[in-house]
Chains A and B, each alone.
Chain A
């Protein structure tokens, strides 16, 4: 059971959240201009990262805000939490 820091509400149990998958996948501005392959890339293909993974979560059982976290998919450690629309924090050297 993860404990996730909602940027608004603070630490809450995973039970209150919903995971939205990989973050920073931007909807193409003009989908009609894309080839099937390009559209499929947006629609289906994901990095499936082992390690630090930026992903969207929603505090659905709380304030209903979407936000992003960087979570290690091996250790489940959450290294940062940031608001929707913000850029992922730069990796520490």
Chain B
């Protein structure tokens, strides 16, 4: 047994309460304040999973976000979350977790599997093996993925709420350790609006596991006092359990706050979101993100029981965990000695401090020696031995005087816990994400923040200041400076005196030397999660890789969910050495958001489901449609009635009924969704002339006209009817989906290109409720409804507009038609839209008035060959392609005109709009069907066009289709073939696109 246990006293855990939980099906207990990792370690659990590639047993290495091995699937069913770090999961009653990578089994004996796998899986294994033939990947992928065994996404919908919060602040302080607390205090005292975020449940950072004293009190007391002051300040927002996951442009940062995880699934008030994504625009940022201890790299350094020195100290001091019976320290710097002190304090046998520096000296060494712990200077751990519970012995070796080689092997030492420290890597992730470049500091043997690119400054160990006194002072300085830079005049703070937390020298070591003999046997791991070894990096260098970014992808260094927080710097240094470069030459890989993984729930927030992902726009008559049981269609963001099924009707039956009723009696359509723009000014007509392909200067008040708007590339952008309301005053309608874009387009021309034109635009889309009354009985109906002006054809001709009263409501009525029937569009103030609609429906009883939806509207207009922009056009169609030369003015310039004579736009064989009649009148071609000249077995078959609109027309008793066909205008009567998805080939004859009433007698009705 390893001898791990809970210490009798100490730690920031609540020993008065016990929590039971299950890990891999077995029941355990712990205390409030524990993490899953600390509770398991206290009960002797050492194996937390197997590695990604070689499936070697792995234990906990760290105590926080850097943990590469102890990844678990937390919770069950819909609450299940994959790939969480056991070191960051706060324990709660009833917690269940399991290892995500236990294949073939967690307790499988060490060594029996990894050797044969090792030879199979060198660096670049996936590229080399599966790039060719491609079919091989398909075969192996399933097995490889199973063997790789990352977590499983739950399939049930997430039961929790997630939300977002936008915030501006003067100073955002990232990290609540000694430097961050001082920075927040300094900025807050200056009057600045401060946000302090820390990923841990408690503020304090390294002070949570130190015996140091600050300002004459224990570090924890100082933390509490500081927090009290910050909490009492209304300008300070404290965010614990909140990871600043990304630093984006212009000081925009994202914070992922985990609000209820620690309570367990279903335990929190459901009105509180599970996670909140803070989107912060900070005037100034202080990065007090701390540093991550670096592992030392030696043979079989991945044995369960090899842990970072800081992690060992954390488990002992913060969680009251004695991680084993016998321990040792392997270090290249002074900070590692603290772990020896802490292990001894916890009552462990500390067998040795192995220090690879030839002559370490100073207070750290003296303290350890005073405890009777032997210090082996100039020595290294060159290998480990494990049993079924993980590490049980370490192998010592003596280095040559210059440290470059093994001088002699010194035998094995009993050890269940090896605390390692290869120095510290400042957490420069956010600094780097801000666009700055970290630089390598030879003396500190680490990358430190370089010149700031954005308004940020690093303080404390994230800036390479590793001693406590220095961190307090740097934090205070950064806080004041940040407050001043954001416009506040703060005083410098008195720095409380720190006792303890000193920092000594370091001798960089990226790889413990090894002889030929043991280098073949024992792997030296750099990236524990991806099993990247020293040999992999060297192989990549030998194979010609030079860029660290390429080596990363080739060897998977830093590609895991931990993003190489432990292993990357060692790997980069080894590559630099193999390439004969300095570390600054090699550089780091790019640090990308997110710092730790963020759930999709947090990213989506509340913007999920049909009603919150995107707005649902409703017309003033929407409630009536819903009460009638209409099926709705999405048109842009609008919900438009699609059809109104009567009892038991299916869609074709309902649509046929609506189409027939409109052509034979009277139908009504809610047309409120069309875009409407009020255009006013002395240059309005000139402006319309430039926008539309046809002329507008002769349009008289009370008349309207149809127009096409083109892009400057000559392609149809939008269409609609524009009315002249009076001198210099017009009302334009646009397509439903194009309204906002057209308005923006028009403003753009006015503001940027033609500022001298005196024209004002106002969007009035929502002000007008519009109903289209169509069909041979429409005039009679409106007369019944009550109209205070003459509706007779002579008085109110086609394309005329009248203002007056309809059903007692002030209205504007236009004689326009998109159905080809006699039709009137009635517009009223939208507050009266429902009243008008109900009055018309009431009066319409005797005509069996029929509300019709967008589907019937589509069929009716297709019978007439009227195009819908965006359906029959797709941004590559000109008015000429539609056979509408009549609408293109020769006598003026307009946007897009010049493009109509470009060689490609003017050629004969462009796709042109035609009608199609299938030989079987019942067969409705699918929209989008591709057309060919002749059926052929050979591939590829040249495609000559496609079906853009296709319906069954009840009025014609047959199917009709609109299509764009190469040279179609000159192929009337010819046959094309539609090749359908199911292999069927359907012949169709090319006809005019106008299937009904080509003389427009129905809609003009001038004789009546």
Contacts and interface: CB of A to CB of B under 8 A. Distances in A.
A31 B896 CA distance: 9
A27 interface: yes
A18 interface: yes
A46 interface: no
A88 to B, nearest CB: 14
A47 interface: no
A18 B322 CA distance: 59
A43 B281 contact: no
Interface in B225-259: 248-252
Interface residues of B, number: 24
Contacts of A58: 744, 747-748
Interface in B894-931: 897-899, 902-903
Contact of B893 (A31, A43, A85): A31
Across the A-B interface, the 9 shortest Cβ-Cβ residue pairs: A31-B898, A3-B250, A1-B252, A66-B751, A84-B752, A76-B249, A66-B752, A39-B898, A84-B751
Contacts of A13: 281
Interface string A48-89: 000000001010100011100000000110000000110000
Contacts of B279: 1
Interface in A27-47: 27, 30-32, 34, 36, 39-40, 43
Nearest to B755: A85
A32 B898 contact: yes
User: Taking each of A43, A60, A65, A75, which has the highest tally of chain B beta carbons within 10 Å of its own beta carbon?
Assistant: A43
A50 to B, nearest CB: 16
Contacts of A39: 898-899, 902
A34 to B, nearest CB: 7
Given A32-B898, A75-B435, A64 B747 contact: yes
B753 interface: yes
A2 interface: yes
A34 B903 CA distance: 13
A2 B453 contact: no
B395 interface: no
Contact of B748 (A2, A20, A30): A20
A34 B898 CA distance: 9
B437 to A, nearest CB: 12
A58 B435 CA distance: 26
Interface of A: 1-3, 13, 18, 20, 26-27, 30-32, 34, 36, 39-40, 43, 56, 58, 60, 64-66, 75-76, 84-85
Nearest to A4: B250
A75 B748 contact: no
A32 B712 CA distance: 13
B686 interface: no
Contacts of B898: 31-32, 34, 39
B249 A1 contact: yes
Nearest to A83: B751
Interface string B510-522: 0000000000000
Contacts of A31: 893, 897-898
24 contacts: A1-B249, A1-B250, A1-B252, A1-B279, A3-B251, A3-B281, A27-B712, A31-B893, A32-B898, A34-B898, A36-B903, A39-B898, A40-B902, A43-B899, A56-B752, A58-B747, A58-B748, A64-B744, A65-B751, A66-B747, A66-B751, A66-B752, A84-B755, A85-B755
Contact of A85 (B713, B748, B752): B752
A84 B252 CA distance: 27
A18 B747 CA distance: 13
Contacts of A1: 248-250, 252, 279
A84 B750 CA distance: 10
Contacts of B897: 31-32
Nearest to B898: A31
Contacts, number: 57
Contacts of A40: 902
A60 to B, nearest CB: 6
Interface in B616-657: none
Nearest to B903: A36
A40 B898 CA distance: 10
Contact of A2 (B250, B751, B753, B893): B250
B899 A76 contact: no
Interface string B737-755: 0000000100110011101
A1 to B, nearest CB: 4
B244 to A, nearest CB: 15
B695 to A, nearest CB: 17
Nearest to A40: B902
Q: Which of B248, B250, B753, B897 lies at the interface centre, i.e. has the most chain A CB atoms within 10 A of its CB?
A: B250
Point out which of A2, A13, A26, A36 has the most chain B C-beta atoms below 10 A from its C-beta: A36
A73 B712 CA distance: 26
Contacts of A60: 744
Contacts of B902: 36, 39-40
B899 A66 contact: no
Given A3-B281, A31-B893, A66-B747, A43 B713 contact: yes
B252 A18 contact: no
A65 B752 CA distance: 9
A44 B748 CA distance: 18
Most buried by A among B747, B751, B752, B893: B752
A3 B252 contact: yes
Contact of B453 (A36, A75, A85): A75
A58 B752 CA distance: 10
Interface string B871-911: 00000000000000000000001000111001100000000
B468 to A, nearest CB: 36
A66 B753 CA distance: 11
A15 to B, nearest CB: 10
Contacts of A34: 898
Interface string B278-303: 01010000000000000000000000
Contacts of A66: 747-748, 751-752
B410 to A, nearest CB: 54
Nearest to B253: A1
Given A1-B249, A1-B279, A75-B435, 5 more contacts: A13-B281, A20-B748, A27-B712, A58-B744, A75-B453
Contacts of A3: 249-252, 281
A26 B755 CA distance: 13
Contacts of B899: 39, 43
Greatest chain B CB density within 10 A among A3, A20, A31, A56 is at A31
Contacts of B251: 3
B892 to A, nearest CB: 11
Contacts of A27: 712, 753
Contacts of A36: 902-903
A56 B744 CA distance: 13
Contacts of A18: 744
Contacts of B893: 30-32
Nearest to B748: A66
Interface string B434-474: 01000000000000000001000000000000000000000
A17 to B, nearest CB: 12
Q: Which of B251, B252, B748, B897 has the most CB of A within 10 A?
A: B748
A76 B475 CA distance: 29
Contacts of B453: 75
Nearest to B763: A64
Interface string B388-429: 000000000000000000000000000000000000000000
B280 to A, nearest CB: 11
Contacts of B755: 84-85
Nearest to B711: A43
A87 B616 CA distance: 42
A31 B713 CA distance: 12
A2 B747 contact: no
Contacts of A43: 712-713, 899
A45 B713 CA distance: 13
A36 B714 CA distance: 13
Nearest to A38: B898
Nearest to B248: A1
